[in-house]
């Protein structure tokens, strides 16, 4: 069998032995009656880590974002977000379907959003343009290459938009924490709501958390029910989530080191892309290439699986299933790689 290194996403990770043990032993109850002690423990643990009053355990990151929109907007409102953010581009139009809101997108090519762009859109309310109900930021910002945000930028955004809520899509918040040394609570402090996926680099089989003020999270529980996301003995999943938060954060540094090695390899192999490997600060290597789809498919045939996240953008993600040996294998493949017809 030919060797295969799966760099498509950190969602392909498998639960650890400790997670499997914890799931096997989990004390569970009907979370619909708020009687699952393991779910409660997970919600409390996350709320404490991000410094919020309460948290809600949900099946997926998409649902966490969708609930945030439901509790922070009214139909017809505008939501300001970076053009490439998950909530805009990778949720199948769910915001329109579920919340009847419209996005006004701003440039986020570098991973950050300019304060000026956001304030201009809010200012246009005075010119008969729709009400802006909230702003969404993504940390780390996936399409730009897992860029960790600067907490000072989040803070200035929050103070500039005043009373309007700020949602932080922290699907990979702990990658940002490990990369920058900023704590999860520091990152979340300027935000009204924050969400994190347990099922990516943290290796839990499923589940995400949304945190914020208690009153909002109570409404979040109702929206979770409406979206069909209220589960019963969900403590089996929460048990794995607790192990994820306890044991899987620090090791993200290994994923970041391997991604950085890969970033240098890709930059050397494809100098025509102008990809700067120093922009890879967490676990995502992403770069523009005119034949990105073809490139990804040819590399997959050689055992190096990546993905595309746009018409000309290739992406390779490190995670707990990728070893140093796998990185050496990728180096060998890239050293010999000659694009077909090129």
Ligand X SMILES: *Cc1c(COP(=O)(O)O)cnc(C)c1O
- 195-214 positions binding ligand X, by CB under 6 A: 197, 199, 208
| Residues 35 and 187 sit within 8 Å (Cβ to Cβ) | no
Backbone angles phi, psi at 179, to 5 degrees: -75, -35
DSSP class of 147: B
Q: On the CB side of 59, how many CA atoms lie within 13 Å of its CA?
A: 11
Stretch that binds ligand X, among 61-69, 111-119, 213-221, 242-250 (CB under 6 A): 61-69
Gap between the Cα atoms of 231 and 224, Å rounded: 9
- In this complex, which beta carbon is closest to ligand X, that of residue 171 or of residue 240? 171
Tokens 């570098």, residue located: 110
3-state secondary structure of 278: helix
Residues 79-98: x where in contact with ligand X by CB under 6 A, - otherwise, as a string: -------x------------
Written as six digits, the tokens of 95 are: 């915001």
Min dist. Cβ of residue 154 to ligand X (A): 15
Min dist. Cβ of residue 337 to ligand X (A): 28
Stretch that binds ligand X, among 60-68, 96-104, 210-218, 270-278 (CB under 6 A): 60-68
Q: Which residue is nearest to ligand X (CB)?
A: 61
Binding ligand X (rule: CB under 6 A), the pick from 31, 36, 138, 305 is: 138
- 155-194 positions binding ligand X, by CB under 6 A: 169, 171
- In this complex, which beta carbon is closest to ligand X, that of residue 61 or of residue 190? 61
Min dist. Cβ of residue 124 to ligand X (A): 27
Q: How far is CA 261 from the centre of its chain?
A: 22
> Taken in order 220, 99, 313, 150, is the CA torsion positive or negative?
negative
Written as six digits, the tokens of 87 are: 């909530």
- In this complex, which beta carbon is closest to ligand X, that of residue 73 or of residue 283? 283
| Residues 103 and 133 sit within 8 Å (Cβ to Cβ) | no
Stretch that binds ligand X, among 54-62, 225-233, 266-274, 321-329 (CB under 6 A): 54-62
Stretch that binds ligand X, among 57-65, 157-165, 173-181, 325-333 (CB under 6 A): 57-65
DSSP class of 126: G
- In this complex, which beta carbon is closest to ligand X, that of residue 19 or of residue 62? 62
Binding ligand X (rule: CB under 6 A), the pick from 28, 71, 72, 142 is: 142
Gap between the Cα atoms of 37 and 337, Å rounded: 52
Min dist. Cβ of residue 169 to ligand X (A): 5
10 is a site residue for ligand X (CB under 6 A): no
Gap between the Cα atoms of 267 and 80, Å rounded: 33
- Give burial (CB, 10 Å; 0-12/13-18/19+) of 227: middle
Interface residue list for ligand X (CB under 6 A):
60-62, 65, 86, 138, 142, 169, 171, 197, 199, 208
């Amino acid at each position: 069998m030919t060797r295969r290194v799966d760099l498509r996403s950190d969602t392909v990770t498998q639960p650890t032995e400790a997670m499997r043990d914890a799931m096997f032993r989990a004390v569970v109850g009907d979370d619909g009656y708020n009687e699952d002690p393991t779910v409660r423990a997970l919600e409390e643990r996350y709320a404490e880590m991000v410094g919020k009053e309460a948290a809600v355990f949900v099946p997926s990151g998409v649902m966490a974002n969708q609930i945030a929109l439901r509790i922070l907007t009214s139909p017809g409102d505008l939501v300001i977000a970076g053009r490439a953010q998950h909530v805009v581009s990778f949720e199948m139009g769910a915001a329109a379907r579920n919340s009847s809101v419209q996005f006004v997108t701003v440039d986020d090519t570098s991973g950050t959003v300019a304060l000026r762009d956001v304030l201009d859109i809010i200012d246009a309310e005075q010119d008969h343009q729709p009400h802006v109900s909230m702003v969404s930021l993504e940390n780390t910002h996936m399409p730009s290459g897992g860029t960790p945000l600067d907490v000072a930028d989040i803070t200035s955004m929050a103070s500039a938009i005043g009373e309007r809520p700020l949602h932080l899509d922290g699907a990979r918040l702990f990658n940002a924490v490990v990369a920058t040394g900023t704590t999860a609570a520091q990152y979340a402090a300027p935000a009204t709501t924050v969400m994190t996926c347990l099922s990516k680099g943290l290796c839990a089989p499923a589940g995400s958390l949304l945190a914020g003020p208690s009153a909002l999270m109570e409404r979040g529980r109702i929206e979770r029910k409406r979206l069909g996301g209220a589960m019963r003995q969900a403590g089996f999943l929460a048990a794995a989530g607790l192990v994820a938060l306890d044991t899987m954060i620090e090791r993200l540094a290994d994923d970041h080191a391997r991604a950085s090695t890969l970033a240098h390899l890709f930059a050397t192999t494809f100098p025509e892309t102008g990809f700067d490997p120093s922009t890879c600060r967490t676990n995502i290597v992403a770069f523009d290439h005119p034949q990105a789809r073809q490139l990804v498919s040819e590399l997959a045939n050689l055992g190096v699986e990546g993905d595309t996240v746009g018409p000309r953008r290739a992406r390779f993600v490190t995670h707990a299933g990728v070893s140093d040996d796998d990185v050496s294998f990728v180096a060998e493949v890239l050293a010999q790689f000659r694009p077909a017809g090129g």
